[in-house]
Chain A
Amino acid sequence: MEQSVLLAGKAIGAGLAMIGAMGGGIGIGLSVQGAVQAMGRNPDFASTIQTNMILGVAFAEAVAIYALVVSLIILFVL
């Protein structure tokens, strides 16, 4: 019984922690949208835009990855 409650608590906690991934998803979507529009307007600067886009995506993704690491720690370490 005690084990089941513990497991349920871990699962709920890990699920709640992953809500944070939503922000990363929105951020990546917005930055790629902007980059693709910019590339469509001036294709000559596509490589520069792409570099900056990957940089921004990596930063936005980092926040989602923090949430993922927290939920992994809840599930497999605690």
Chain B
Amino acid sequence: MINWNGKRRWIALLLLIAGFVVMLTVPPIIPVIQLPGEKYPGGGDGFRMTNSLMGSVVVWILLILLAWYVNRSMPKSGDEVPRGGFYNFFELIFEGAYNFIHNIVGEKYIRYIFSFFMTILLIVLLSNWLELIPGVDSIGFLEPHTTVNVQTGQVTYEKGYETTNSGGVFALNPKCPWVSPDQAATLTDAQKTARVNNGCQTGTGAVVAASTTDGEPAAGSPSVPWVVLPFLRSPSTDLNTTASLALIAVIMTQVLGFKALGIRYLTKFFNFKTLLTSPLGGIDVAVGLLELIGEFAKILSFSFRLLGNIFAGSILLFVMSFLVPFLPWPFFILEFFVGIIQALVFGLLTAIFMSQATAGHGEHHDEGHEVEQITADNPVEIAPAH
């Protein structure tokens, strides 16, 4: 075991210097920004894997490994809990979250609500942090950046870059934006010599192989512009992931409401009780209908809040890595905290909506004044709901 004390600072300094060198030799490129998840190349019209779905798969695998590891290192009942280590850390977080939710929802439905809260929290947290890993948005398939007009079959070339090839590994050449033969004719001689000095193949005055519309161009061929289609993307930047999480949260809120109150739960939305007895009964009916619309608005606001925050965050990271290539890390710290806050907000709102749904109309649940703290003398078992 190496003693790392006092050596980490030199590693940080080395990484800073390495970042500076990389910035000077390979300037970063702003990637092609797409809102829907990009489909992997190949395959037909049927189901095709997208890179955000692959990000989800990575998150699931990480969660399963986490659960397996924590379960394995859990001491048998009666044994002493070992000091330090990952298991203790995880228990600390779980107890903190349990007490936090206990203060909000009270004793009765804590088992159901806490399991939803913690599941959503962990999934969203890992999804959000996936965008911080270097290489997640920048390593991928090499794709020609062309759009094909469906009706006329005409191929248009979009913005892209030339490639460099080192031992079968292709990289985009940031000094050489791709230039079409038509554009190349309009370049001045000075521009052409500059491109030759940078090692570009297109736009230098030399004849380049004609662009072919039939068949796939060879990998790295200078006849088409190239872009990178990343292998992985943070699942939270895809509306499909966030909308499905929002649907689960809102639908399970209704299920818990029916479980707690039975058919009485519907009187929250269709409140005709006071229509004939009270002069203001009509207002109650209108408020109930507004609550019904509010349930659908919850789905929208849940999904767009997470999508907007994390997608904007990943664009911020792209743009800042492009503008200040040697100093993007303050923004990584910012996105680290935004990830925590958004995961907490998603889980907390789910827990609060669920506790409102189970509380019933008119009757107030206790606000958690008699919360018993989890201590060593008074352990509260977190049992799975069944």
**A residues within 8 Å of B by Cβ?**
47-48, 51, 54-55, 58-59, 61-62, 65-66, 68-69, 72-73, 75-77
Interface residues of B in 101-118 (CB under 8 A from A): 103-104
Q: Taking A62-B301, A76-B34, A77-B35 as contacts, is the C-beta distance between A54 and B345 under 8 angstroms?
A: yes
B348, closest chain A residue (CB)? A54
Measured between beta carbons, the chain A residues less than 8 angstroms from B136 are: none
Q: Is B352 in the interface zone, CB < 8 Å from A?
A: yes
Dominant secondary structure at the A interface: helix
Between A and B, 29 residue pairs with Cβ closer than 8 Å are A48-B367, A51-B104, A51-B348, A54-B344, A54-B345, A54-B348, A55-B348, A55-B349, A58-B305, A58-B345, A58-B349, A62-B301, A65-B304, A65-B305, A65-B308, A66-B304, A66-B308, A68-B308, A68-B312, A72-B35, A72-B308, A72-B311, A72-B312, A72-B315, A75-B33, A76-B34, A76-B35, A77-B35, A77-B36
Chain B interfacial positions (CB closer than 8 Å to A): 33-36, 103-104, 301, 304-305, 307-309, 311-312, 315, 344-345, 348-349, 352, 367
Closest beta carbon of chain A to B136's beta carbon, Å: 19
B104 cross-chain contacts in A, Cβ below 8 A: 51
A19 to B71, CA, bound (A): 49
Determine whether the beta carbon of A76 is less than 8 Å from that of B345: no
> Which residues in B have their C-beta under 8 angstroms from that of A73?
35
Q: Which residues of A contact B308 (CB under 8 A)?
A: 65-66, 68-69, 72
Q: Which residue of B lies closest to A64 (CB)?
A: B308
Main secondary structure on chain B at its contact with chain A? helix
- A78 CB to closest chain B CB (Å) equals 10
Write the nearest CB–CB distance from B367 to chain A, whole angstroms: 8
6 A-B pairs closest in CB distance: A65-B308, A62-B301, A58-B345, A68-B308, A69-B308, A76-B35
CA distance A73 to B308 in the complex (A): 10
Give the docked Cα–Cα distance between A58 and B348 (Å): 10
- Residue of B with least CB distance to A57: B345
Q: Which of A51, A58, A76 has the most C-beta atoms of chain B within 10 angstroms of its own C-beta?
A: A58
Measured in the bound complex, the distance between the Cα atoms of B34 and A59 in whole Å is 27
Question: In the complex, what distance in Å separates the CA atom of A76 from the CA atom of B315?
Answer: 11
* A65 B349 Cβ-Cβ under 8 A: no
Quote the shortest CB–CB distance from A20 to chain B (angstroms). Answer: 12
Least Cβ–Cβ distance between B365 and chain A, in angstroms = 14
Taking CB atoms, residues of chain A closer than 8 Å to B103 are 47-48, 51
**Separation in Å of the A11 CB from the closest CB of chain B?**
14
Please name the residue on chain A nearest to B344 by beta carbon: A54
A69 touches B304 (CB 8 A): yes
**Min CB gap A39→B, angstroms:** 16
Report how far A53 CA is from B149 CA in the complex, Å.
51
A35 to chain B, nearest CB (A): 15
Identity of the chain A residue whose Cβ is nearest the Cβ of B99 in the assembled complex: A47
Bound-complex Cα distance A73 to B352 (A): 30
| B104, closest chain A residue (CB) | A51
Closest chain B residue to A61, Cβ basis: B305
Among A48, A65, A68, A76, which residue has its beta carbon within 8 angstroms of that of B33? A76
Q: Which A residues touch B348, using CB under 8 A?
A: 51, 54-55, 58
- List residues of chain B with CB within 8 A of the CB of A75: 33
- The interface residues of chain A lying within 8 Å CB-to-CB of B312 are 68, 72
A65 to B35, CA, bound (A): 15
A62 touches B304 (CB 8 A): yes
CB B58 to nearest CB in A, in angstroms, measures 24
Chain A residues lying within 8 Å of B349, measured Cβ to Cβ, are: 55, 58
Other than the given A54-B344, A62-B305, A76-B33, 15 more pairs (CB < 8 A) read A47-B103, A48-B103, A51-B104, A51-B348, A55-B349, A55-B352, A58-B345, A61-B305, A62-B304, A65-B309, A66-B304, A66-B308, A68-B312, A69-B304, A76-B35
